[in-house]
Amino acid sequence: MATRRKFLADCGMFAGSAGFSYLALNRLSWSGPEKKPGKKSPMSLSFRPYELHLRHVFTLASGSRSVTPAMLTEIRFEDTVGYGEASMPPYLGESVESVTGFLKKVDLSHFDSPFFVEEIVAYIDSLAPGNHAAKASVDIALHDLVGKLMNQPWYRIWGLDPRKTPNTSFTIGIDTAEVVKEKVREAAPFRILKVKLGQKNDREMIETVRSQTDKPLCVDVNQGWTDKKMALEMIHWLKEQGVVFVEQPMPKESVDDIAWLTANSPLPVIADEAIQTAADFSKIQGAYSGINVKLMKCGGMHAAYTMISMARAMNMKVMIGCMTETSCAVSAAAQLSPLADWADLDGNLLINNDLFDGIKIMDGKIMLNELPGIGITKK
């Protein structure tokens, strides 16, 4: 086993240094016991629902909630287990029922080797349209498994420099002035704060935050503004308040208005709700300065890597974000963070029943660890 792992580890280093292609992993096709016709596949998927408990009631322009349903997945291959997760905030349209229905369709016995990542991800994607969080839960578990078999963390398999991780923002939800102040105090270790806007008290929210800190801010409007001229006026004011970018200022359908806003905006305008998967690039082309990539939106690490490459080819900014999630999905996303301009990977910090230990935040910066796969251990 040790020799095999060493071989796989060396291949991982090579893949990283030569520029990454998922197809290169096919060369590592499993050399273990041969699969006999009729014999059970060495790879198996299991899953169970889990409820994420939020530390604070979470308010967005679209509503409030105190729990988020999730699904925990495992892919087992011989004596190695990869962990994954689907998080299902209600606005994404997925639920425990829909994710369970999707995962029941997954049959990994088609594949002898977990290293056929490209093929396995394409197979998962072909099972149904949508279901991106469900797809992400399989994709993350597969990446964790493959990284563990290679004895390498994914940032290294991709050839990324762990010193280039960005600072992560910490999210301040819409709330009363007292709670906002408390959250800003709680966010002391962070160097950038993300303030949720999109309601009538936007200026008051910013002024409340500013009464506590002079750190750089970014804002997420969650499609809350409807008038482009008012939006532009607000962005100019926000720039004076030390805001560095604006996320999804207007409804995703208002592409022409957003394109006008971006062309005139003194701050970068980032698409979140407007771009879910790589297929959405055609809808937003020219309308935004950058994109917010999230594993739960796009279907996992493979899709996120592709989207980031596409965004860079189009000279767009990249932000890597998350939902409320355990350290499992957050650490998976963090593996990609050296590729991003900004990160918003605080989803695990917003819950009080995390099942995993993973990436850490030190002085506001994402610290990737040396653990293989997605860098987590079960608590």
Nearest approach in angstroms of CB 127 to Mg ion is 27
Q: Could you tell me which residues come within 8 angstroms of residue 263 by beta carbon, excluding any fewer than 6 positions away?
A: none
Q: Which residues of 209-223 are buried (b: 16+ CB within 10 A; e: fewer)?
A: beebbebebbbbbbb
Nearest approach in angstroms of CB 173 to Mg ion is 12
Nearest approach in angstroms of CB 167 to Mg ion is 17
CB 250 within 8 A of CB 261: yes
Q: How many chain residues interact with Mg ion (CB under 5 A)?
A: 3
147 versus 321: smaller Cβ distance to Mg ion: 321
CB under 5 A: which stretch of 1-9, 72-80, 217-225, 326-334 binds Mg ion? 217-225
Nearest approach in angstroms of CB 319 to Mg ion is 9
175 versus 247: smaller Cβ distance to Mg ion: 247
- H or E segment and range at residue 145: helix 132-150
149 versus 234: smaller Cβ distance to Mg ion: 234
Nearest approach in angstroms of CB 197 to Mg ion is 11
145 versus 291: smaller Cβ distance to Mg ion: 291
CA distance 129 to 142: 20
CB under 5 A: which stretch of 97-105, 150-158, 215-223, 236-244 binds Mg ion? 215-223
257 versus 272: smaller Cβ distance to Mg ion: 272
Nearest approach in angstroms of CB 235 to Mg ion is 16
Nearest approach in angstroms of CB 196 to Mg ion is 8
CB under 5 A: which stretch of 245-253, 298-306, 331-339, 370-378 binds Mg ion? 245-253
CB under 5 A: which stretch of 32-40, 118-126, 240-248, 310-318 binds Mg ion? 240-248
CB under 5 A: which stretch of 163-171, 192-200, 242-250, 350-358 binds Mg ion? 242-250
CA distance 313 to 285: 12
CB 274 within 8 A of CB 280: yes
What number of other Cβ atoms are within 10 A of residue 179's Cβ? 16
Nearest residue to 274 (alpha-carbon basis) of 255, 257, 246:
255
- When CB distances to Mg ion are compared, the closest residue is 272
Which amino acid, one-letter code, is at 32? Answer: G
272 versus 354: smaller Cβ distance to Mg ion: 272
Nearest residue to 83 (alpha-carbon basis) of 39, 53, 127, 50:
50
What's the full length of the chain, in residues? 379
Q: In what order do the strands lie in the sheet with 192-196?
A: 169-172, 192-196, 217-220, 243-247, 269-271, 290-294, 317-321, 342-344
Nearest approach in angstroms of CB 136 to Mg ion is 17
Task: State how far Cα 119 lies from the chain centre.
Answer: 22
Site for Mg ion in 263-322 (CB under 5 A): 272
Q: Which of 94, 220, 325, 354 binds Mg ion (CB under 5 A)?
A: 220
CA distance 344 to 128: 29
Which amino acid, one-letter code, is at 65? Answer: R
- Based on the shown chain and the rule CB under 5 A, indicate whether residue 346 belongs to the binding site for Mg ion: no
Q: DSSP letters of 321-373?
A: E--S--HHHHHHHHTTGGG-SEEE--GGGGBS---EE--EEETTEEE--S-SB
Site for Mg ion in 42-101 (CB under 5 A): none
125 versus 220: smaller Cβ distance to Mg ion: 220
Nearest residue to 210 (alpha-carbon basis) of 250, 172, 267:
172
Nearest approach in angstroms of CB 364 to Mg ion is 19
141 versus 219: smaller Cβ distance to Mg ion: 219
257 versus 273: smaller Cβ distance to Mg ion: 273
144 versus 220: smaller Cβ distance to Mg ion: 220
CB under 5 A: which stretch of 170-178, 192-200, 219-227, 325-333 binds Mg ion? 219-227
Q: Which residues bind Mg ion (CB under 5 A)?
A: 220, 247, 272
